Amino acid sequence: MRTARRVSQLLFFLLFLYLFFEAVYPYEVALPADLFLRASPLAAVASILASRAFVSTVVLGLVILALSIPLGRFFCGWICPLGTVLDATDRWFKRPRRKVGQRESTRLRSWKYALLVAILAGSFLSVQFAGYFDPISVITRAFTAVLLPLLTKVADTFVSLLGRVSFLENITFSAYNRLQEVGFPTQQPLVRGSFLILVLFLVILVLGKWSRRFWCRNLCPLGALLGFVGQHRLTHRTVSTACTDCGVCQLMCRMNAIEDGYRITRTSECIECMQCVDICPEGAISYRLGLPASSSHKGVDLDRRRVLGSLAGGTLAAAALSVGFVGRESSSSKLRPPGALVESEFLDRCVRCLECVRICSSTGACLQPALLERGVAGFWTPVADMRHGYCEYNCNLCGQVCPTGAITRLSVEDKQKVVMGTAYFDRSRCIPWYRNEDCLVCEEHCPIPEKAIRLEQRPVQLPSGETRLVKFPYVVEDLCIGCGICVTKCPVEGQPGIFVTTAREERFTARGEKVRKEEVPAYGR
């Protein structure tokens, strides 16, 4: 059984990696790039609670939640990519040796339930915490912000070193080209705030120093949710009379789910990894299907005080964020991706997984995680940074990979008509305007067929007295969609000569209606 579980973990992890690396423009894989995010029951429940509407993209997460009622935490033991990474990295750490019967502490176990309660209370008050702790979002964010840029840097360094050795040059470059054909970035993607994402991910890994699967045992709110719904599951660890009370199963259980006496299993903790079945020297343990016998299992052990405390804490924090005094709508200077829902609905739905940032990095590369530009409530939500990149006119991928529908799915043709914002010239920095010299860069790059940037040629008198004909660019507001390529390509050093604001910005309601900021009184509340 252990082999079967390992094969399952490996296959699901490879699928996760495959979809992650293939999430590039143009996306041509039959499976959705955000398959694992859609399969997260926590993201599903939190986004439905927060938006108070059925979110069709998260059906798979609901199916897994429903399956966990009879099957328990199978997702944790057999599928979750973060769980697989933790199983691999936990081997790196040396922990104090324990003797048989010396059980690890279970004191911190209730933390994950407290966190789950706070998340659900927050979601109910339309404040989304789930994405910060959802394991699939955690690992997707870490791979996007840290692993991918790091791998690209390492590969670039190797290629430039090996490429200098004449007999390795050809083979090195053809191997690198092949890598890029299968989705490896051609340029190192840079994600703002990646250091914090790295530190938090490393903390999760390093907690393995204290116990195996520390995160899963004590902190993971998804594990808490699945453990709670699956505590009366129909799959049971059964111990036969061949048991000699050697205690090896309890010693080796990565989830500390076997109670003293070795017969009783804490079903809310057991992830059905089957290690106890394989490790038992007497072959006394088996897994059976059937109604649970009360003598062989125990469910959730909740510390009520902590749960009530976290309910109060989560409710207070959520209330503070929802009334806006810590800046829920504090700034609208940064653009949202094309197709984003109106701000309040966007904040309710977005699980901060950064899948859109990942896929955008392979095309226009404008999307970045917000720090505080969109208020505390918008931390790590995607915003467009036009100096960093632009929204590619022929791309609609962020909407296709958003697991919770925070970005509306649009066809390329519909997306090309969505106004993200409007560009304006900064005449104190734009070359024709302040230096009286021609510069056609923005006009040439503007992707709108009728050109949203046009040029008007006028004579100007220079300080020397000479008259020169200069082409002055201007924006046709009604045509501009705010894609920002003019900003990205502007050759002016530092602050560009053109910038995009959220003026005329269009958003979508959860029902799919397009609305313009100034036309909708309730917009963004």
Please write down the HEC assignment for all residues of 28-81. CCCCCCCHHHHCCHHHHHHHHHHHCCCCHHHHHHHHHHHHHHHHCCHHHHHCCH
Among 46, 257, 367, 470, indicate the residue that binds ligand SF4 (CB under 6 A): 367
Q: Near ligand SF4 by CB under 6 A, which window of 50-58, 294-302, 430-438, 484-492?
A: 484-492
Interface positions, 399-438, toward ligand SF4 (CB under 6 A): 423
In sequence order, the β-bridge partners of residue 287 are: 237
From the CB of 391, what's the least distance to ligand SF4, in Å?
A: 3
Closest CA to 473 of 446, 516, 439, 505: 439
Name the residue nearer to ligand SF4 (CB basis): 375 or 482. 482
In sequence order, the β-bridge partners of residue 460 are: 468
Q: Near ligand SF4 by CB under 6 A, which window of 64-72, 174-182, 186-194, 362-370?
A: 362-370
Name the residue nearer to ligand SF4 (CB basis): 4 or 323. 4
How far lies 205's CA from each of 76, 92, 149, 416, 523, in Å?
16, 10, 19, 42, 41
Name the residue nearer to ligand SF4 (CB basis): 276 or 452. 452
Among 9, 123, 231, 363, indicate the residue that binds ligand SF4 (CB under 6 A): 363
Name the residue nearer to ligand SF4 (CB basis): 77 or 247. 77
Torsion of CA 240, 246, 250, 252, to 10 degrees: -110
Name the residue nearer to ligand SF4 (CB basis): 246 or 424. 424
Among 147, 448, 455, 515, indicate the residue that binds ligand SF4 (CB under 6 A): 448
Contact flag: residue 385 with ligand SF4 (CB under 6 A) = no
Cβ-based neighbours of 354, under 8 Å, separated by 6 or more? 137, 140, 141, 144, 145, 191, 369, 380, 382
Name the residue nearer to ligand SF4 (CB basis): 321 or 498. 498
From the CB of 85, what's the least distance to ligand SF4, in Å?
A: 9
- Are the C-beta atoms of 459 and 519 separated by less than 8 Å? no
- Are the C-beta atoms of 524 and 329 separated by less than 8 Å? yes
Closest CA to 222 of 44, 445, 410: 44
Q: Near ligand SF4 by CB under 6 A, which window of 59-67, 230-238, 310-318, 389-397?
A: 389-397
Name the residue nearer to ligand SF4 (CB basis): 121 or 360. 360
Angle between helices 166-181 and 148-162 (to 10 degrees): 150
Contact flag: residue 397 with ligand SF4 (CB under 6 A) = yes
Name the residue nearer to ligand SF4 (CB basis): 263 or 387. 387
Contact flag: residue 481 with ligand SF4 (CB under 6 A) = yes
The CB density around residue 336, as the number of other CB atoms within 10 Å, is: 28
Name the residue nearer to ligand SF4 (CB basis): 152 or 396. 396
Interface positions, 341-360, toward ligand SF4 (CB under 6 A): 359-360
Q: Cα dihedral sign for 482, 488, 494, 496?
A: negative
Name the residue nearer to ligand SF4 (CB basis): 131 or 247. 131
From the CB of 265, what's the least distance to ligand SF4, in Å?
A: 16
How far lies 187's CA from each of 140, 148, 153, 388, 499, in Å?
19, 10, 9, 13, 24
Locate 512 and state its tokens.
């799919």
Exposure letters 6-30 (e unless 16+ CB within 10 A, then b): eeebeebbeebeebbbbbbbebeee
From the CB of 180, what's the least distance to ligand SF4, in Å?
A: 19
From the CB of 398, what's the least distance to ligand SF4, in Å?
A: 3
Name the residue nearer to ligand SF4 (CB basis): 284 or 475. 475
Closest CA to 204 of 353, 86, 84: 86
Interface positions, 203-232, toward ligand SF4 (CB under 6 A): 215-216, 220, 222-223
Please write down the HEC assignment for all residues of 364-395. CECEEECCCCCCHHHCCCEEECCCCCECCCCC
d(Cα 416, Cα 395) in Å, to the nearest integer? Answer: 8
Half-sphere exposure for 353 (CA within 13 Å, toward CB): 33
Interface positions, 22-41, toward ligand SF4 (CB under 6 A): none
Among 65, 391, 431, 470, indicate the residue that binds ligand SF4 (CB under 6 A): 391
Contact flag: residue 82 with ligand SF4 (CB under 6 A) = yes
From the CB of 241, what's the least distance to ligand SF4, in Å?
A: 32
Long-range CB contacts for residues 516-522, cutoff 8 Å, separation at least 24 = 516/419, 520/342
Total residues contacting ligand SF4 by CB under 6 A comes to 40
Q: Near ligand SF4 by CB under 6 A, which window of 79-87, 102-110, 274-282, 341-349?
A: 79-87
Interface positions, 104-163, toward ligand SF4 (CB under 6 A): 135
Closest CA to 445 of 393, 396, 403: 393
Among 452, 470, 490, 510, indicate the residue that binds ligand SF4 (CB under 6 A): 452
From the CB of 412, what's the least distance to ligand SF4, in Å?
A: 9
Among 61, 183, 337, 378, indicate the residue that binds ligand SF4 (CB under 6 A): 337
How far lies 220's CA from each of 82, 136, 157, 454, in Å?
10, 11, 36, 54
Half-sphere exposure for 349 (CA within 13 Å, toward CB): 28
The number of helices, as runs of H, and strands, as runs of E, in the chain is 24, 12
Name the residue nearer to ligand SF4 (CB basis): 79 or 342. 79
Contact flag: residue 19 with ligand SF4 (CB under 6 A) = no
d(Cα 478, Cα 203) in Å, to the nearest integer? Answer: 49
Name the residue nearer to ligand SF4 (CB basis): 61 or 83. 83
Binding site for ligand SF4 (CB under 6 A): 75-76, 80, 82-83, 135, 215-216, 220, 222-223, 337-338, 359-360, 363-364, 366-367, 391-392, 395-398, 423, 445-446, 448, 452-453, 475, 480-486, 500
